[in-house]
Structure 1
Amino acid sequence: MTESTLKPRQVAYAAMAGTAFETYEYFLYGFVAATVFGPIFFPAFHPWLGTLAAVSSHAVAFFVRPLGAVLFGRMGDRLGRRPALITSLTLMGVATIGVGLLPTYAAIGVTAPILLVVLRLVQGLSVGGEIPGAVLVGAEHAPPNRRNFFGAFAYIGVTIGFLIVSVSLLLVTTVVGAETFQSWGWRIPFLFSAVLLVFGLVLRTRLAETPEFVAAESRIRRERAAGRLRTLFRGWGRPLLGAILIWIGPSTFFYAFLTSLLAYTKNFVPELRTTTVQWALLLTAIALTVIATVSAYSGDRANRVRMIIIAGVWWTLWAAPSYLLVETGSAPALFTAMLVGVVPHAIVTGMAPALTADLFPVEVRYLGLAVALTLSVLIGGLLPIPALALVGAADGSVVPMIVVMLLAGIAVIVGAFMIRRLQAKPAAGQTPAGRPAR
């Protein structure tokens, strides 16, 4: 394989851009499902149950993300990071464009929600391999003193994707009006994915394999691909568990507080208009991007495990106040809840990618990181669904959502302490390859 003609920083930028495009498409579905898909794809339900069904259609992607993690993880560790990333981006783009073109229930009946779920499953399959591959492309091309910074570019791309979603939804809603957006304007952001797909593929095809993969390629190709998953769980089970616990926090915060917030306020806090929540999401996305970048830059010098423990404590303490502030129906209270709550999310986003990637040796690194991220999202992304159902049953009580956030904060703290203990006294056969984590 030829070496990349791009400099490490350019490679990190390319990984960040591709991840931003793909996560824009993935997150877009979640936001639109929370506000639009209920009445047009699930009209036979009570309004709140229709919204819950739409949000649940968003959640089905979590069930195939583990399959995507294994599929793309094995591909990335066996054939290379580059082909896995190109394939995942293509699948995501095609599925998102398909959602934008999909007829509604009124046009084709029950076939519409079935096709909607199928396309969401394809998105879930794709994203299961996207983010870990992008993290590795940045980290494995990076100089030793910038491994955390470049490895975090993929997750900074996630925050940028979130920012693009916030801007596009606010822009389209403002231009076409709320009523038109509910009718057909929601399709515009989905169809915009065609442009992002072309641009993303151009960037991805310019990437060559990472130096670490090329150096280990001959050894990797001699190993049986079928044994990699077994090797991961048997030889690297404790680092895998620590990584899963750390990533539960960001996953839960995003799906319980950001994505679900639109559905919650629409049904239970009518004083907060949808556009107000969209503005809050936009400001939160900007803050998240800036703070995560600072966190990533400082992560090459700071004690990352200690900072992640602080973030977990922050999440735990802020869980109840954040939801109680939103419940007041005040726009300033909403902004405060989101902007204060996003800080620990940004800390973990900037410091955890390279930290958790370096827990695994190069021959199972893609698979290990993909499985850790996927299982954390499966837990953190699904927990809000029963919690939201309980919120509806309790006529808007936010107690179930507070409990979910508390559990997420505790998981982060436990995971960070596990990794600290592994660093202090690694088990036999479990010494991480690559740059030592701090």
Structure 2
Amino acid sequence: MSCGPTAQRRTLPSGLWATLSDEGFRLFFPVAALYAAFYPLLWVLALSFDAPFAKTVPPSLWHAHEMIVGAFGAALIGFITTAAPEWTDTEPPRGASLWHLLALWGVGRVVGFLGWEDVGLIGALADVLWLAGLVSWLVHLSLSRKTDRLLPFVFWLALLAICTAAGRFGFQIDSFELASKGIYLAGFAFLGLLGLALSRITVPVTNLVLDPTEETSPFRPHPGRLHLAPGLVFVAMLGEAAGLSDGVSGFLWCAAGAAFMDRVAEGFVGHEALREEILMLAGSSALAGVGLILFGAARLGAFWSEVSGMHVAFMGGLGLGTYAVFAVAGLLHTDQPLGLSIKTRVGALSLVVAVALRVAPDLGVDLPGPMYAVASLLWAAGFLLWLAEYWPAISGRSERVEDVPA
């Protein structure tokens, strides 16, 4: 995401709806933030960990699906439809094509939020269709521009679509073992996409922090790290599909987590490592890595459950990574310099604390009060703080209210 604050500003169309559909991030980042904020909050406080229309599918599976394919899925659409055209120097999808993607995504969310099993096949088809649409569009871009730069994303998006379809097929045939495996493998596929995205984002953002003039590129990480974390995640996923023993698969997941921890080292760039943009990107890798190591350790006999590791990896790694993309891309693609406001910083901290509170009981830390409720409130507050801060610029109504010098 190389668009910097000095890039030439494009005149936005008049009208809110036209502005929102002018680029993918303007439409899908706010939608993702709202869904990520309110769905878990309602799941805990209003639905009491239930799905209103669920009959046979455990509500926890619907919940996991909605967080991975629903909340993070909307963020993925916004990221891909914004970043891929920039990487290939092509026009991004605008207008009707974005609204069609939103409609497909929305059909899936109505079904998933309610656990509406009677029309579950419709929701499943809607989710697979928007994923397949992204894959086919990226393939078209790759062929038309004669580039292989997008092929890793094509691979991981296709894998995500396959895992999602497998999970939903398990819903349809009441095979909850298949459903569970498909859903958590979809989450791991998202971690593969996260590793790819971080490798593409971290370099230009770090260089922009180190040299705001963009005249030099002082940060050049080792190319061997580019696909290390996604590659080891894929190896571990193959182990899951092959039915390897808990001991072997546990070591594979620990190795994948270590690869994400290796990415954290890229954040050590001198005193600028304390810049919030770099801390958030490194923090996303750290939480993904810690979560995968906890998941692997559970397979190896640790006292906590595998679900605890998945919460750290998905809620923490994917959650903070999504937030970091929202914050950084939300500035650069609205022609603003780097430098995060107090609201944005507090929002990021809220997400991290929410993750800690969510997994604390699982790890034997006994804290007073309704921890799940507090965690869901802090999680929602994080994304809503981002939305409140960035909405004026994203909607085209004004620049940020509070600008912080880079």
When normalised by structure 1's length, the TM-score is: 0.35
Query: Which of the two has greater helix per residue?
Result: 1
Greater relative contact order structure (CA < 8 Å, 6+ sep): 1
Give TM-score scaled by structure 2 length.
0.37
